[in-house]
């Protein structure tokens, strides 16, 4: 008795060998898709581990320049800088944010002097410099919008002056992209690009990052009056539309893995350069499970990054950047 079936469709046919799977593959990840976020701190030859992010370190400027060389050699096009700020420099008015010689601005200059081919991206938000850990200025317990925007514009100008290629406003104040674009134009920084953290959610996934930059202890309350409600998707489309209208060159969705539906909608609706930030908590979860032997860290790292490409992203900010690039280049 024969069990032969005459199936016209056998989708497994094209999964049979690596060659056939390669032929029908719909998207690909390359080292050019990656932006590598690094943490800075003062000192010389410092590589200080971030406890909640195994494998990630705070780097002094000399080692940050070394990281830029590594990025160049791995084909990673951009670094994104996050300073750990001495608590003594944090104030209610956040003046350190626009100090031309703050840690972040010194790092921009050092990297652009030594490794000019690597793009340098910054974070524009006041939290590293704010005594209360918020991204905007706090007056009488309220995060005030317009005064914060004025401060953020000063911060953005100082970063542009230092030589940043991409400004990344992550503050979620209203009107900041337009205000920054106008100020950049007026100051002659017409080629400095803006990647707006347009759809940034009030997320529990940022926990390890706040450790890394020394903001966890400082933060009073939460960020729900400016970052978005994780329940919302239509609102994200309005935020993207607004930031593009105000002059953003590229947009970002953040966090990443829990918001892939947002990435897909943005790419489908706007067809603009779209990025996702695979944030600190996502990195920490994968690393923790891998360290326990519960998942294969390398496979999950690559699968998670590929998922962003499938969801329509042009690129990904990820702490895995150097490891992923090394693996991709070895293939
Ligand atoms: C601050 C900022 C945060 C991150 C990037 N910029 C934290 C926050 O909004 O509280 C998070 C990045 C990460 O978790 O990896 N404006």
Q: Verify whether residue 309 is a known catalytic residue.
A: no
- Domain assignment present for residue 330? The answer is no
The reply to whether ipTM tops 0.90 is: yes
- Domain assignment present for residue 272? The answer is no
Q: What angle do CA 107, 251, 130 make, to 5 degrees?
A: 50
- Domain assignment present for residue 4? The answer is no
**Which is the catalytic residue, given 90, 112, 254, 309?**
254
In the predicted structure, residue 215 carries a pLDDT above the cut 90: no
Q: Whose CA is nearest to atom 7 of ligand 1?
A: 206
Report residue 211's pLDDT band, with 50, 70 and 90 as the boundaries.
confident
In the predicted structure, residue 207 carries a pLDDT above the cut 80: yes
Task: State if residue 209 touches ligand 1 by the CB under 6 angstroms criterion.
Answer: yes
Least confident of 184-193, 215-224, 270-279, 315-324: 215-224
pLDDT of 317: 98
From 55, 125, 203, mutation site for ligand 1 pocket: most ligand atoms within 8 A of C-beta = 125
Contact 135, 189 (CB under 8 A): no
Average pLDDT over residues 285-310: 98
Q: Verify whether residue 223 is a known catalytic residue.
A: no
pLDDT of 255: 98
Q: How far is the C-alpha of 157 from the C-alpha of 147, rounded, in Å?
A: 16
- Domain assignment present for residue 126? The answer is yes
Query: The pTM is what?
Result: 0.96
pLDDT of 214: 82
Task: Report the CATH number that the domain containing residue 122 is assigned in CATH.
Answer: 3.20.20.70
pLDDT tens figures, 92-141: 999 999 999 999 999 999 999 999 999 999 999 999 999 999 999 999 99
Task: State if residue 125 touches ligand 1 by the CB under 6 angstroms criterion.
Answer: yes
- Domain assignment present for residue 261? The answer is no
From 37, 50, 80, 127, mutation site for ligand 1 pocket: most ligand atoms within 8 A of C-beta = 127
In the predicted structure, residue 2 carries a pLDDT above the cut 70: no
User: How many independent structural domains does the chain possess?
Assistant: 1
pLDDT tens figures, 229-245: 999 999 999 999 999 99
How many CB atoms lie under 10 A from the CB of residue 190?
A: 9
Task: State if residue 283 touches ligand 1 by the CB under 6 angstroms criterion.
Answer: no
Name the pairing type of β-strands 57-59 and 47-49.
antiparallel
Contact 71, 319 (CB under 8 A): no
In the predicted structure, residue 33 carries a pLDDT above the cut 70: yes
pLDDT of 4: 77
- Domain assignment present for residue 108? The answer is yes
| Mean of pLDDT over the chain | 96
Report residue 271's pLDDT band, with 50, 70 and 90 as the boundaries.
very high
**Which is the catalytic residue, given 112, 200, 223, 309?**
200
Helix extents (H) in 194-314 = 207-212, 234-245, 260-270, 280-291, 297-310
Strands (E), the chain: 34-40, 47-49, 57-59, 78-83, 119-124, 138-139, 142-143, 166-169, 193-200, 250-254, 274-278, 315-318
Task: State if residue 218 touches ligand 1 by the CB under 6 angstroms criterion.
Answer: no
Nearest atom in ligand 1 to the alpha carbon of residue 170 is 16
What distance in angstroms lies between residue 233's CA and the mean position of ligand 1's atoms?
20
Task: State if residue 50 touches ligand 1 by the CB under 6 angstroms criterion.
Answer: no
Share of the chain above pLDDT 70, in %: 99
Q: How far is the C-alpha of 320 from the C-alpha of 285, rounded, in Å?
A: 13
Residue range of the domain that includes 208 = 29-227+238-251
Average pLDDT over residues 27-39: 98
pLDDT tens figures, 164-194: 999 999 999 999 999 999 999 999 999 999 9
Report residue 1's pLDDT band, with 50, 70 and 90 as the boundaries.
low
Contact 173, 152 (CB under 8 A): yes
Average pLDDT over residues 243-263: 98
Share of the chain above pLDDT 90, in %: 95
- Domain assignment present for residue 275? The answer is no
Task: State if residue 170 touches ligand 1 by the CB under 6 angstroms criterion.
Answer: yes
- Domain assignment present for residue 16? The answer is no
Q: How far is the C-alpha of 75 from the C-alpha of 87, rounded, in Å?
A: 35
């Amino acid at each position: 008795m024969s069990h032969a079936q005459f199936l016209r469709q056998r989708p497994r046919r094209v999964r049979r060998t690596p060659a056939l799977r390669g032929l029908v593959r719909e998207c690909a990840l390359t080292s050019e898709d990656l932006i590598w976020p690094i943490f800075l701190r003062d000192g010389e030859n410092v590589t200080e581990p971030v406890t909640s992010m195994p494998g990630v370190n705070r780097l002094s400027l000399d080692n940050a320049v070394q990281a830029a060389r590594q990025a160049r050699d791995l084909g990673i096009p951009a670094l994104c800088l996050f300073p750990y700020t001495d608590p003594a420099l944090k104030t209610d008015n956040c003046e350190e944010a626009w100090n031309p010689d703050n840690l972040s601005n010194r790092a921009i200059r050092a990297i652009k002097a030594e490794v000019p081919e690597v793009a340098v991206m910054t974070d524009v938000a006041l939290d590293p410099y704010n005594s209360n850990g918020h991204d905007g200025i706090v007056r009488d317990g309220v995060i005030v919008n317009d005064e914060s925007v004025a401060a953020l514009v000063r911060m953005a100008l100082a970063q542009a002056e230092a030589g940043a290629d991409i400004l990344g406003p992550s503050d979620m104040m209203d009107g900041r992209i337009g205000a920054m674009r106008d100020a950049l134009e007026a100051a002659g920084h017409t080629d400095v690009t803006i990647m707006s953290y347009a759809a940034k959610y009030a997320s529990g996934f940022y926990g390890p990052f706040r450790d890394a930059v020394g903001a966890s202890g400082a933060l009073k309350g939460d960020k729900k009056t400016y970052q978005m409600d994780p329940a919302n998707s239509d609102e994200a489309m309005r935020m993207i539309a607004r930031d593009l209208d105000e002059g953003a060159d590229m947009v970002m969705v953040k966090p990443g893995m829990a918001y892939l539906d947002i990435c897909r909608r943005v790419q489908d609706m706007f067809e603009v350069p779209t990025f996702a930030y695979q944030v600190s908590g996502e990195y920490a979860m994968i690393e923790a499970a891998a360290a326990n032997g519960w998942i294969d860290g390398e496979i999950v790292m690559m699968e998670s990054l590929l998922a962003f490409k499938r969801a329509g992203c042009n690129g990904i900010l990820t702490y895995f950047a150097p490891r992923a690039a090394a693996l991709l280049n070895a293939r």
